[in-house]
Amino acid sequence: MAAGLLLKLVGFCFWAVFWLGGAATVSTNAGGEAAAAAVVVDARSAIAVTDEDFVCATLDWWPPDKCDYGTCSWGLATLLNMDLSNKILLNAVKAFSPLKLRLGGSLQDVLIYDTGDPRQPCTPFTKNSSAMFGFTQGCLPLHRWDELNAFFQKSGAKIIFGLNALNGRVPMSDGSLGGPWNYTNAASFIRYTVSKGYDIHGWELGNELSGSGVGARVDADQYAQDVLALKQIIDNSYQGHASKPLVIAPGGFFDAAWFTELISRTKPNQMDVMTHHIYNLGPGVDTHLIDKILDPSYLDGEAGTFSSLQGILKSAGTSTVAWVGEAGGAYNSGHHLVTDAFVFSFWYLDQLGMSSKYDTKTYCRQTLIGGNYGLLNTTTFEPNPDYYSALLWNRLMGTKVLSATFNGTNKIRAYAHCARDSRGITLLLINLSGNNTNHIYVTSEGVQPYSTKKEGRRRFGRIPGLGEEAQLIREEYHLTPKDGSLQSQHVLLNGNVLAPDANGEIPKLEPVQVEGTQPITVAPYSIVFAHIPRFYAPACR
């Protein structure tokens, strides 16, 4: 018995060296086992802060006959036609408590709103190859808007609505669309929304009209004037209300000069949120998407955009914050069995981790449902693997972002936040390697918890085997693909398949408990969330 206790004590001391920031080397194990390494977390102060409801998803307007590369992947899964009575859909949104939903997409700038104007009949989108994005002007009937808001209220969603920013534009000599935004229809729609008491978190102006644009573009100077007009409409429409929706723009691809000008003309407080879109993997038809997702250097490429936008906002002296307003990874509806499969969680969670480090407040995934990149299956509504990745992030990763540095292979991606609604930190580890199992210790940087003898006794008076082992227990959530296939549309949590039950209820996400003296084991092609409640983190108090 004495020998066993001695071994536990030695093990604890070895663990404590790592825990307090010491260095150690462990030799590589045979059989594809990688050397033990360490994630160094600096928990003295936060490097950034996200919104409480950081995770966001989009809903789009595409008709069923929207097709890409010969595949029609939207079906009845968009704002105009989706089954709002589906139990899985309702429960999937409710599980986030709340989930931000951004309503918009390519067709929003050719969408009008049925506000009773006889000069603007409410007709549906019709396929037309000569029209922008292949469809004629469409319309949102008010009865459908009422139905949608009944669903939003029942599910507890927070709504961002993307407005048509092309009404009234005229072609300019440089190829852009100019002239002031004709906001008559939009203002009428906003007034109707207010009159019905529908809760809108933010109104966003336009979709992908920034910089060189997609389909159309508007100069930053004119766009700024239109944002100011939207701000005035919101101020007038919500006069007397306790709070007003956010003013959001431009919902486009990042262009440093264009974004800088928009900020300079709307600062310090006329625009609340600057949104940009991300499709950094290229077209959905690309046959090398999985190679890109598993390439650390390729993933790192998007950091420049986050850093540049952060720098623009900091130097401008503005209250405007950055969001990712739409991100589907691969454009033109994604790629079946890639962007709706397990492998895409590597890209998605890495994006959440990376963007949060650069003070991105909200990240909207394209889509909640629809296309080949939905969090939910387009036809069955059952969650794809990324849904569970998003839900774990939402429940485990708090708003305060911590610096985390991994000293081993570049195939491990590491991110740390203060734990959500709990003590300590949560660590996210992503293993892009299909060959190596990594055993990872977590160390703290720059913290000296032994400030007094009393503090030392308080924190380390309980040694495993000597009293309360539970004080050093951590919770781990291991995500792996079903049958080991990266292209599986089913994910395992700690070895168990995740799926809704017969009533459409989202399954519980239960952790495994691990003794804190042990390293975190990260299997090949896996993702691990580790909640470490006893980590010494002054930033998280």
CA atoms within 13 A on the CB side of 84: 16
If phi > 0 it is left, if psi is from -120 to 50 it is alpha, else beta; for residue 360 that is beta
Helix (H) or strand (E) holding 178: strand 177-178
CATH number for the segment(s) 36-44+403-447+462-538: 2.60.40.1180
pTM > 0.85? yes
CA atoms within 13 A on the CB side of 301: 14
Q: What is the pLDDT of residue 297?
A: 98
Tokens of 175: 């190829």
> Cβ contacts of residue 321 below 8 Å, gap of 6+?
272, 273, 274, 313, 359, 361
Q: What is the pLDDT of residue 445?
A: 87
> Cβ contacts of residue 173 below 8 Å, gap of 6+?
none
Residue 480 three-state SS:
strand
d(CA 91, CA 93): 5
Residue 51 three-state SS:
coil
> DSSP alpha helices (H): ranges in 209-332?
220-237, 256-266, 289-293, 296-300, 303-316
Q: What is the pLDDT of residue 10?
A: 38
Quickly list DSSP for 349-385: HHHHHHHHHTTEEEEEES-SBSTTS-SB-TTT-PBPH
Active-site residues: which are they?
Answer: 208, 326
Nearest to 383 by CA among 103, 157, 159, 90: 90
d(CA 346, CA 335): 15
Q: Which residues of 242-256 are buried (b: 16+ CB within 10 A; e: fewer)?
A: eebbbbbbbbbbbbe
Nearest to 227 by CA among 241, 247, 197: 247
Rounded to an integer, what is the distance from CA 353 to the centroid of its chain? Answer: 9
Nearest to 265 by CA among 225, 205, 206, 232: 225
User: Residue 363 corresponds to which amino acid?
Assistant: Y
Is the preceding peptide bond at 63 cis, omega within 30 degrees of 0? Answer: no
Task: Tell me which residues of the chain have a pLDDT lower than 50.
Answer: 1-31, 449-469
User: What is the DSSP pairing of strand 360-365 with strand 321-327?
Assistant: parallel
d(CA 196, CA 218): 32
8 Å CB contact between 434 and 529: no
Quickly list DSSP for 98-127: S-EEEE--GGGGGEEE-SS-TTS------B
Phi, psi dihedral angles at 384 (to 5 degrees) = -80, 170
Tokens of 371: 């296309």
Residues of the chain with CATH 2.60.40.1180: 36-44+403-447+462-538
User: Residue 6 corresponds to which amino acid?
Assistant: L
User: Residue 435 corresponds to which amino acid?
Assistant: N
Whole-angstrom CA distances from 69 to 300, 335, 373, 378, 488 are 28, 10, 15, 18, 22
8 Å CB contact between 96 and 506: no
Q: What is the pLDDT of residue 447?
A: 58
- State the CATH architecture for 50-398: Alpha-Beta Barrel (3.20)
Q: What is the pLDDT of residue 465?
A: 36
Q: What is the pLDDT of residue 35?
A: 60
Count of positions (residues) in the chain: 541
Residues of the chain with CATH 3.20.20.80: 50-398
d(CA 517, CA 284): 44
User: Residue 275 corresponds to which amino acid?
Assistant: T
Q: Which residues of 472-506 are buried (b: 16+ CB within 10 A; e: fewer)?
A: bbbbbbbbbbeeeebebbbbbbeeeebebeeeeeb
> Cβ contacts of residue 369 below 8 Å, gap of 6+?
59, 77, 82, 89, 375, 376, 377, 378, 381
d(CA 522, CA 134): 46
* Secondary structure of 402-414 in HEC code, one letter for each residue: EEEEECCCCCEEE
